[in-house]
Amino acid sequence: MQDVKTTLEDLGIDKTVILRLLEQDQLLEAVRIFEQKSRLNLETTMSLLGAIKNGEEQFVFQPEANKSALKVSFENHDGIITVKLKEGSALEKVVYPNDLDWIKVKKSIGNNPHIIEYEKCFLENEIKNSKKSTLFIEESTFTKRKIVIIIAALLLLMYLIYEKF
């Protein structure tokens, strides 16, 4: 729980302006003021606005939960668009419109006309994609060695059997 008055003073927001907006049912405008002047998440902002509206002196501060850094970049080289995504400390990877992570890219970039056009062309198969499949099957070298060892053992066994007879 945090104090409403000190929080508003720290943020430099006038309580009377917020009260006036809340009385006029302009909640969205009040949220915009908090968004512009603070880095509070939406839950904390709504808790603070509810406390101001109800005349309470305390509100529930909810810190952001595990906010991971999301970095999206796209490059356009001679009409070939490459979209890259990096989440937190993970490696940067190329993302295509048929990937599961494409939703994160669209949320991050928004309504970028280049990305919308790229997605449309990609999904209509106009873009020749070098990505064949996301499924890779790696064959273990142990199984190959195992077969070679078994064959060598059988040959040795056959040699020993024929040597005795």
Using 50, 70 and 90 to split pLDDT, how confident is the model at 155?
A: very high
Q: What is the mean pLDDT of residues 13-37?
A: 87
The 8 Å CB, 24+ separation contacts for 154-161 are none
Please count the other Cβ atoms lying within 10 Å of the Cβ belonging to residue 84.
14
* Model confidence pLDDT, tens digit, residues 93-142: 888 888 888 888 888 777 777 788 888 888 887 555 555 444 455 566 67
What DSSP state is assigned to residue 102?
H
Beta bridge partners of 83: 74
**What pTM did the predictor assign?**
0.40
**Any idea which residue has 């990505």 for tokens?**
131
Percent of the chain exceeding pLDDT 90 equals 8
Using 50, 70 and 90 to split pLDDT, how confident is the model at 44?
A: confident
| pLDDT for residue 134 | 47
Listed in order, strand segments (DSSP E) in 88-163 are 93-94
Cα→Cα distances 107→82, 100, 104, 115, Å: 17, 13, 5, 11
The pLDDT of residue 148 is above 70:
yes
The pLDDT of residue 31 is above 70:
yes
* Model confidence pLDDT, tens digit, residues 64-99: 654 557 888 878 777 777 888 888 777 888 888 888
Domains of the chain by residue range: 2-59, 70-123
